Amino acid sequence: MVKLAVNGGEPVAKDLSRMIPRWPLLDEDDVKVVVEAIKGGHWCRLYPGSYAERFEAEFAKYHDAKYGIAVANGTVSLELALKTLGVGLNLGDEVIVPAYTFIATASAVTEVGAIPVFADVDPKTGNIDPKDVEGRITERTRAIITVHFGGYPADMDALTSIAKKHGLYLIEDAAHAHGSEWRGRKVGAIGDMGSFSFQESKSLTAGEGGIVLTNSDELAERARLIHNIGRVIGQPGYIHYILSSNYRLSEIQAALLLSRLGKLPSEVKVKNENGKVLADMIKRTGVVEPTGNDDRVTVRGYYYFVMLYKPEELNNIPKEVFIEALRAEGVPVGVSYGPPLYKQPAFKRENLVKSIPKYILDRMPNYERLNLPGAEEFARRELVLPHYLLLAPREAFELVVAAIEKIKEHVDELQQSVNRLKVSDATIDTTYHR
C-alpha cells in the first residue's frame, strides 16, 4: 500500500536532491582567478584596473546600464542609492516600499533617516501594486522602491509613469532579478537607480557583495564619492569632499564575481526556459499555480520559483502541512519571508523606540494597524522553490510534480494526520540576506 512519506512511506522524489546542482556553483576558472587576485597583493580596489572596476563595467554592460558601483552587500547598495538621491536629508522624508519582501528594502530607508511607507502588493506576483502606490504619495514622498520579487519584473511602465508624474525617484531593488528583462531591457537601470545583491544564495554570488546601477553621469559620480568615504578613486592623498562611510567591495570578491559573471547569461537562459516548462507542469496538478503571466516580462532571471497554493484543492489542508508533506517526499519547498513586513516584530512600536530617533519615530505611521489585502493573501498562498532547481534536468521537474500529485491522491490520509504532524519552520533554507 502506498503511504505518504510524512507518514513513513517511501519518498517519491528521493532522487531529486542528487539532480539539483549544489549551490553555489564553482569551477576551476573561479578558483584560478581568486588565487590570482590573492597572489596579486592588491586586496583593496584602490588601484587602476582593479577587479572591482572591471566587474562594475562588465555587470553594468550586461544589465544595459551605463554605470555600476560595487559595494560590500545588497543592503548597503540600497542605502547608497537612497543617499545618492538625497533621501533622508529632509526631516520626514518618505519612501514607498512593498509590504512583502525582505526587510532590508524597508530598513535601508530607516538607516538613511527616512520613513518607509508600505504599499500593497499584487497577490498574483508579490510585486508592488502601482495603484496602491499612487494612493500613498504625499508631499513628503521622495522615492519609490520596487522589488522584482523572485526575479519577476514589476510593472515598470506604470511605476515609471507614476514617478515621473509626481516628480519622484524610482529605485529598483533587483536583488532577485539578475538577468531579468522587462520589454527586452534588463532591469536595474530602468528607474533612476538599481540595487543588486551577491549574497550566497543569489544567482550571481561571491558570498556577499552588491552593486548600484544608474544611467546618470551625475548620480554615478556622487555614488562613487559616497561609497569611498568621500574620496575620489584614482586621486592620491587623503582629500575627502563629503562626510561618508566605506561601502567598497573587496578585490577577492570582485574577482570571483567577474569570473562567475561569464557563466551567468547561459544560466539565466536555462532557468528562463525551464521555468516555463515547470510552470506548465505544476499548473496541471491543480494544487499549485505559477505566479505572473505578463507578456512584457521577456526574461525571468529567477531567484525563487514562486507558486501559489490552492488549499481548496486539498480539503483546505493548511499550507504548512502541505509544505511538510512535500518536503518529506523530497521536494525542497518553502516560503520566502513569512508575514508581511508590517507584521515583523521590528515594526512594533516597542521595538522601534530602541532603534529609531524620536524625532523620526514621531512621524512614522502605526505599522501595527496595517492590514493590506494583497500582501496578506500572497503571504497565505506563497510557496517557493530555489532557483538552482531550474538548472536540474527536466526529469527533476517530473519528480516535483509526482510528489504534488501523490499528496493530492492521498489527501484523506494527510487530513487524518494533520493534528499529529509537527509543523516545522517552512522558510526555505536559502535564507535571503543582503
322 in catalytic set: no
pLDDT under 70 in the chain at which residues? Answer: 1, 417, 419-434
pLDDT at 415: 81
The number of distinct structural domains making up the chain is 1
Q: In terms of residue numbers, what domain contains 188?
A: 1-434
416 in catalytic set: no
Options 118, 122, 199, 432, the catalytic residue: 199
343's grid cell: 507584521
282's grid cell: 505544476
302 in catalytic set: no
Options 238, 295, 420, 429, the catalytic residue: 238
Calpha distance 131→216 (Å, rounded)? 27
305's grid cell: 520559483
199 in catalytic set: yes
Calpha distance 175→151 (Å, rounded)? 8
Calpha distance 205→196 (Å, rounded)? 10
Options 173, 319, 406, 432, the catalytic residue: 173
pLDDT at 342: 98
Calpha distance 382→309 (Å, rounded)? 6
pLDDT tens-digit series, residues 131-179: 999 999 999 999 999 999 999 999 999 999 999 999 999 999 999 999 9
pLDDT at 428: 53
Strand residue runs (E) in 192-295? 193-197, 210-214, 288-290
pLDDT at 432: 40
Options 102, 169, 302, 388, the catalytic residue: 102
Please name the helix (run of DSSP H) or strand (run of DSSP E) that holds residue 118, with its range, or none.
Answer: strand 115-119
CATH number at residue 132: 3.40.640.10
Hey, what long-range contacts does 352-357 have (CB within 8 A, 24 or more apart)?
Answer: 355/110, 356/110, 357/113
pLDDT at 431: 44
231 in catalytic set: yes
Through-space distance between the first and last CA atoms of the chain, rounded to whole angstroms: 47
27 in catalytic set: no
